[in-house]
């Protein structure tokens, strides 16, 4: 499948791997697209997984609504559920990085019936992040969340090569920083990406809740955005019945785990999904 629609919006999708493979939804973060999974996908395919990676709301050219309200967490979750319906899977595993990780935590708490497991990369549970922001240096690390609420100013700050420089400073390899920054400048993508932050005030009515699924959380100890306090506190937001199976994987790594630590991330996902390692014939990536 190359595209799906929901509520008048059209989303681009990378659907690859064995047709009969275990379905795994891959949710990218800011300011990237589904191409962040390119290095990871073949490793999951060889373990028998079918990967389904959308370019999410704000990033797909056909899914860039103007209203900040339309980037509330409820909308972001419903996009994923619509994708699963479109691809024909009642349940699937989900992996999320950065903002995609926040969506994955929310799905684990509010739509556990649709998922078999969750693997979150980098992003702590939203409640753990809020708690850490009040009691640790996390508030300083998250300064940009408030800055991104300003109308127009963040767009100016990230125009031209400024987005690329930001990505380079935070550890993304140069070819990938160039790729992501170029995509960010196309059409209304930059504003769409920033609207994820601007939608935060409208997400308070749909808190993530405690995760009700088997869950692995992979965190890089050198992450410039997300500190240890929130990472370690995230275990508190898994329901007791799944606490014993919760896995916290700490890597000596930064923020961009799918690209810089693909082997370790794949190992964590495969261990959680339990799809085995018997190779199946992969399908080519969809355009």
Answer whether 193's CB lies under 8 Å from 59's CB: yes
pLDDT at 45 over 60: yes
Domain harbouring 84, CATH code: 3.40.50.1820
Please check whether residue 101 lies inside any domain of the structure. yes
Please check whether residue 206 lies inside any domain of the structure. yes
Please check whether residue 107 lies inside any domain of the structure. yes
Average pLDDT along the chain: 93
Total domain count for the chain?
1
Please check whether residue 175 lies inside any domain of the structure. no
Please check whether residue 249 lies inside any domain of the structure. yes
How do residues 216-253 score in pLDDT, each as one tens digit?
999 999 999 999 999 999 999 999 999 999 999 999 99
Give the pTM: 0.94
Q: Which domain holds residue 48?
A: 3-148+196-273
pLDDT at 275 over 80: no
How do residues 46-81 score in pLDDT, each as one tens digit?
999 999 999 999 999 999 999 999 999 999 999 999
How do residues 93-134 score in pLDDT, each as one tens digit?
999 999 999 999 999 999 999 999 999 999 999 999 999 999
Lowest mean pLDDT among 28-32, 194-198, 276-280: 276-280
277/193: higher pLDDT: 193
Please check whether residue 246 lies inside any domain of the structure. yes
How do residues 146-167 score in pLDDT, each as one tens digit?
899 888 999 999 998 999 999 9
Please check whether residue 59 lies inside any domain of the structure. yes
pLDDT band at 281 (very low <50, low <70, confident <90, very high): very low
Please check whether residue 166 lies inside any domain of the structure. no
């Amino acid at each position: 499948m190359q595209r799906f629609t929901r509520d008048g919006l059209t989303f681009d999708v990378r659907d690859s791997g064995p047709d009969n493979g275990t379905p795994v939804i891959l949710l990218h973060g800011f300011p990237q697209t589904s191409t962040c999974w390119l290095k990871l996908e073949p490793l999951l395919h060889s373990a028998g997984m079918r990967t389904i990676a959308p370019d999410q709301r704000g990033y797909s050219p056909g899914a860039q609504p103007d209203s900040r309200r339309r980037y509330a967490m409820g909308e972001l979750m419903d996009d994923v559920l619509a994708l699963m319906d479109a691809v024909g899977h009642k349940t699937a595993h989900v992996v999320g990085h950065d903002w995609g990780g926040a969506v994955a935590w929310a799905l684990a708490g509010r739509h556990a019936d649709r998922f078999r497991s969750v693997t979150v990369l980098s992003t702590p549970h939203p409640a753990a992040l809020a708690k850490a922001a009040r009691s640790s240096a996390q508030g300083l690390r998250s300064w940009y969340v408030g800055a991104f609420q300003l109308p127009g100013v963040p767009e100016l700050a990230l125009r031209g090569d400024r987005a690329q420089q930001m990505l380079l400073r935070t550890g993304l390899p140069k070819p990938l920083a160039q790729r992501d920054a170029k995509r960010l400048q196309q059409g209304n993508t930059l504003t769409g990406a920033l609207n994820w932050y601007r939608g935060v005030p409208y997400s308070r009515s749909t808190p993530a809740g405690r995760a009700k699924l088997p869950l692995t959380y992979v965190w890089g100890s050198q992450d410039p955005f997300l500190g240890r306090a929130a990472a370690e506190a995230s275990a508190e937001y898994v329901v007791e019945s799944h606490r014993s199976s919760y896995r916290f994987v700490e890597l000596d790594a930064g923020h961009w785990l799918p690209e810089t630590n693909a082997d370790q991330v794949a190992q964590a996902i495969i261990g959680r999904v339990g799809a085995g390692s018997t190779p199946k014939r992969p399908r080519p990536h969809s355009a």
